[in-house]
Amino acid sequence: MKPIIRIILGSKSDLDKIAEAKDVLEQFKVPYDLFISSAHRNPDKTIALAQNAKSEGIEVIIAGAGLAAHLPGIIAANTTLPVIGIPFAAGALNGLDSLFSIVQMPPGVPVASMAINGAKNAALFAIQILALKDKELEAKFATYKKDLSA
């Protein structure tokens, strides 16, 4: 199955922080791809991943990064797809710098921001977006929500 969600991380050290998102996407059988690409160390690759995503069949991008966390913003600046940012706890400010970098995007460049280390909610939010046009996924998500109350 072709991926419809793209996950981009700023560093391979963030792989453990995205595990919950991968688990959720696999639980819902939503195909995804995953790339490591720093907005600072490899900006050309990062921009290409954003610009080519739509033509590759991607419908939502999840981007997670720590420290300055410019990754979700640079991706949002280079695509019309919805971008979900996950600030990762790191460094002296333990993720607050990441949160502020993601949540304080300038007008015209929206990024949906999750909580610090909020990978699970990022995947669930991506599923909600996809469920707007996928009735089977919508039914799975409705069951998931119903099961939460139990």
Residue 103, pLDDT above cutoff 80: yes
24 φ/ψ angles, rounded to the nearest 5 degrees: -65, -45
Q: Which fold has domain 5-149?
A: Rossmann fold (3.40.50)
Q: What is the average pLDDT across 115-144?
A: 97
Count of other CB atoms within 10 angstroms of residue 150 = 4
Q: Across the chain, what does the average pLDDT equal?
A: 94
Q: What pLDDT digit, counting tens, does each position of 15-32 carry?
A: 999 999 999 999 999 999
32 by DSSP, 3-state: which? strand
Which tens digit of pLDDT belongs to each residue from 32-49? 999 999 998 999 999 999
> CB 90: neighbour CB atoms within 10 A?
22
* DSSP classification of residue 105: P
